[in-house]
A and B are shown apart, each in its own frame.
Chain A
Amino acid sequence: MLEIKNLVFGYDKNSPVLQGIDMSLEEGQVGILLGRNGAGKTTLFKIMTGALKPDGGRILFDGQDLLQMSRRQRAGIVAYVPQQLDFGSLTVYQSVLTGRVSYYTVRPSRKDLDVVDEILCETGLDKISCRDVQELSGGERQKVAIARALAQQPRVLVFDEPTGNLDIANELLIINEAKKIAHSKGIIVISSIHDLNQAMFFGDKFFFMKDGTIKYFGGPETFDEATIKDVYGVSARVVTENGEHYIQYYKEKENE
């Protein structure tokens, strides 16, 4: 179980970005952070992956505080799939192997190689494992980034804007992949998605961020007209069709 307790952070003292974030997720759950640009989603991810140090609060995984751990210990629990997919000129295999860099110095051990092999087969990357990552399509690169994160054998997967640079087919492919990973391996996935329909389809639990706090959270029922209006300032209604929910944006009539 992942619990974030009263997390506080500011780039400088006068403008706090996170003002007490509280949230929790169970094993195998997909949690989605929602909110406008600059709401603090990426900041929260950076704190979870160790790139930023918070001013206060705790991040507990099964009772252990991630913020007190060594880099290596934390890398074994939290893995990160970034929005920016740069790899340099490495093969797919080498890129995935970098996920295990905290386990070996120069020569990977048998176990490191076995883990990488297994993950390449699982993600279907084994057929292109000798290719240079720079030659691959956006969807394939996204898969490589996921595979690298999985090579860390994490318990929590932080997935920043997984669909940002993808076409709709790849978008669905990646979302399904991530969902499958969460449910089959019991990994907690925490992600941010701008498209509310995709978010509803992807997530189990939703967290709406505003003014540096989690203002609303819960299951799919959290999506309603008032919440969306408050968080995004946009008018939308939730339409239900064949038991599935959709969000439809509309233009408000201007009353004088």
Chain B
Amino acid sequence: MVRPLISDFRKKRLFTLGLLLAVIIMAIVCLFVGSSHMSVSECLKALAKKSSAANNRIIWNIRMPRVLAALIAGAGLSVSGLIMQTNLNNAMASPSTLGVSNAAVFGANLSIIAFAGGFLDTGNHLSNFDVGANPFSTSLMAFFFAVVSILLILGLCRIRSFSPNIVVLAGIAVGSVWTALTTVLQFYATDVGLSAAVIWNFGDLGRAMYKTDLIMFVTVFAGIITFIFLSRRYDALLSGDAVAISVGVNVRLLRFVSLLLSSMITAVCVSFLGIIGFVGIICPHVIKKIMGQEHLWSISSSALAGSLLLLVSDTLSRSMGNGSALPVGAITSMLGAPFFIAIIFRKGGRH
């Protein structure tokens, strides 16, 4: 009998478990490292809420939501990128192919520059609870425009054609409109407004709160579960639309659901955290090179790899920033890109 699925399966399981272990270890490290230089024992005490009130708050109110955000957003963005790449049959597709990030940036800029007069505090900031402003207004605006972008492109494609190239091109076109609008907006902004808007664009896990983590978790979890259910259909889709249809897959519906869900994941993450680039391109590609494209495994491993990359980046960004955290998006690219380049140019690699 031939049944190589098992030997394959064992290797893949081992690799995935290894990744899971790395994620857990990194999450703990991330929780214990920070600008307040607490010792490990203090951190442990604070975890049990038995340290000083300040330390307890650092662990539970600052670091914990941040670690959770890294876990959730990393997984979400990475899987979203993988699903985009498969469904659009395009290695350069990213979580933001439907112009989601550009739209979110425009929404956030509109909120900061036009509606708040450039006050830095209009983001997800606790102090806004006092003045009565909605602390989520910027995120809401970002999310609103991201969804408009998604619905616009998917709506157009639903009427005309769902061919991958058309979706990608429509995404580029619509994305550039959002960017143009943002530029116009920024041209009229005050110095303070402009800097607030630019700072929003830097992805920052520090904006995470338990509430936002929960919303991100629900979206990402629902998405990943759905993608896993559809994983065998994605395998068939790798052979092209015609073959997928001939083996019984409803390609149009599959593509619509996949693009919608992965874009929603991106929209939620970007709206709450800002732009965290490259996770969604680097992680899926590295995973595909390592373990192939069987989606059941590449989805779960990409999720873990995304979490891992964001956790490492965030830990570094907080240790390197000398008190204030560097933008995590920049660290992700600086960390991920060399590894990515090494993988694609490795000796004996196939093109």
Residues of A within 8 A of B (CB): 46, 49-51, 71-72, 74-76, 78-80, 82, 84, 86-91, 93-95, 97-102, 104-106, 113, 117, 120-121, 126, 129-130, 132, 134-135, 148-149, 152, 158
Closest to A126 in B: B2
Residues of B within 8 A of A (CB): 1-5, 7-8, 228-229, 231-233, 235-236, 238-243, 245-250, 288, 292-294, 296, 350
Docked pose: A63 CA to B5 CA in angstroms:
39
Whether A93 and B4, one on each chain, are in contact in the complex, defined by CB atoms closer than 8 angstroms, is yes
**Chain A residue contacts of B242, Cβ below 8 A:** 46, 49, 51, 80, 82, 84
Instruction: Return the contact of B350 from the options A76, A87, A98, A135 (Cβ within 8 A).
Output: A135
Whether B228 and A106, one on each chain, are in contact in the complex, defined by CB atoms closer than 8 angstroms, is yes
Whether B2 and A51, one on each chain, are in contact in the complex, defined by CB atoms closer than 8 angstroms, is no
Whether B232 and A101, one on each chain, are in contact in the complex, defined by CB atoms closer than 8 angstroms, is yes
Whether B247 and A98, one on each chain, are in contact in the complex, defined by CB atoms closer than 8 angstroms, is yes
Question: B145: shortest Cβ distance to chain A, in Å?
Answer: 34
Whether A98 and B239, one on each chain, are in contact in the complex, defined by CB atoms closer than 8 angstroms, is yes
Whether A106 and B248, one on each chain, are in contact in the complex, defined by CB atoms closer than 8 angstroms, is no
Docked pose: A90 CA to B294 CA in angstroms:
6
Question: B3: shortest Cβ distance to chain A, in Å?
Answer: 7
Whether B292 and A105, one on each chain, are in contact in the complex, defined by CB atoms closer than 8 angstroms, is no
Closest to A78 in B: B246
Docked pose: A149 CA to B4 CA in angstroms:
20
**Chain A residue contacts of B292, Cβ below 8 A:** 89-91, 94, 132
Question: B292: shortest Cβ distance to chain A, in Å?
Answer: 5
Whether A89 and B293, one on each chain, are in contact in the complex, defined by CB atoms closer than 8 angstroms, is yes
**Chain B residue contacts of A113, Cβ below 8 A:** 3, 5
**Chain B residue contacts of A87, Cβ below 8 A:** 238-239
Whether A88 and B246, one on each chain, are in contact in the complex, defined by CB atoms closer than 8 angstroms, is no
Instruction: Return the contact of B8 from the options A95, A99, A130 (Cβ within 8 A).
Output: A130
Whether A74 and B232, one on each chain, are in contact in the complex, defined by CB atoms closer than 8 angstroms, is no
Instruction: Return the contact of B235 from the options A46, A98, A152 (Cβ within 8 A).
Output: A98
Closest to B249 in A: A101
When A and B form their complex, which 10 residue pairs have the shortest distance between CB atoms, in order from nearest? A88-B238, A102-B248, A75-B248, A80-B246, A49-B246, A130-B4, A98-B236, A89-B293, A126-B2, A71-B248
Docked pose: A106 CA to B248 CA in angstroms:
15
A79 in contact with B246 given A95-B239, A126-B2, A134-B350 (CB within 8 Å): yes
Whether A120 and B246, one on each chain, are in contact in the complex, defined by CB atoms closer than 8 angstroms, is no
Question: A144: shortest Cβ distance to chain B, in Å?
Answer: 10
**Chain B residue contacts of A78, Cβ below 8 A:** 246
**Chain A residue contacts of B293, Cβ below 8 A:** 88-90
A49 in contact with B245 given A90-B235, A93-B4 (CB within 8 Å): yes
Closest to A46 in B: B242
**Chain B residue contacts of A89, Cβ below 8 A:** 288, 292-293
Docked pose: A113 CA to B9 CA in angstroms:
14
Docked pose: A211 CA to B296 CA in angstroms:
46
A105 in contact with B232 given A89-B288, A89-B293, A93-B2 (CB within 8 Å): yes
Whether B235 and A94, one on each chain, are in contact in the complex, defined by CB atoms closer than 8 angstroms, is yes
**Chain A residue contacts of B250, Cβ below 8 A:** 71
19 contacts between A and B (CB under 8 A): A46-B242, A72-B248, A74-B248, A75-B248, A82-B239, A84-B240, A88-B235, A88-B239, A89-B288, A90-B294, A91-B8, A91-B292, A91-B294, A93-B8, A100-B247, A102-B249, A129-B2, A132-B292, A148-B239
**Chain A residue contacts of B243, Cβ below 8 A:** 80, 82, 148
**Chain B residue contacts of A99, Cβ below 8 A:** 247
Instruction: Return the contact of B247 from the options A94, A117, A130, A152 (Cβ within 8 A).
Output: A152
Question: A90: shortest Cβ distance to chain B, in Å?
Answer: 6
Known: A99-B247, A113-B3; 19 extra A-B contacts, CB below 8 A, are: A71-B250, A75-B248, A79-B246, A82-B239, A86-B240, A89-B292, A91-B8, A91-B294, A93-B2, A93-B5, A94-B235, A101-B233, A101-B249, A106-B228, A106-B229, A117-B1, A117-B3, A130-B7, A149-B246
Whether B2 and A121, one on each chain, are in contact in the complex, defined by CB atoms closer than 8 angstroms, is yes
Docked pose: A79 CA to B240 CA in angstroms:
14
Whether A102 and B247, one on each chain, are in contact in the complex, defined by CB atoms closer than 8 angstroms, is yes
Closest to B236 in A: A98
Docked pose: A46 CA to B246 CA in angstroms:
9
Instruction: Return the contact of B2 from the options A46, A84, A120 (Cβ within 8 A).
Output: A120
Docked pose: A126 CA to B7 CA in angstroms:
14
Docked pose: A90 CA to B295 CA in angstroms:
10
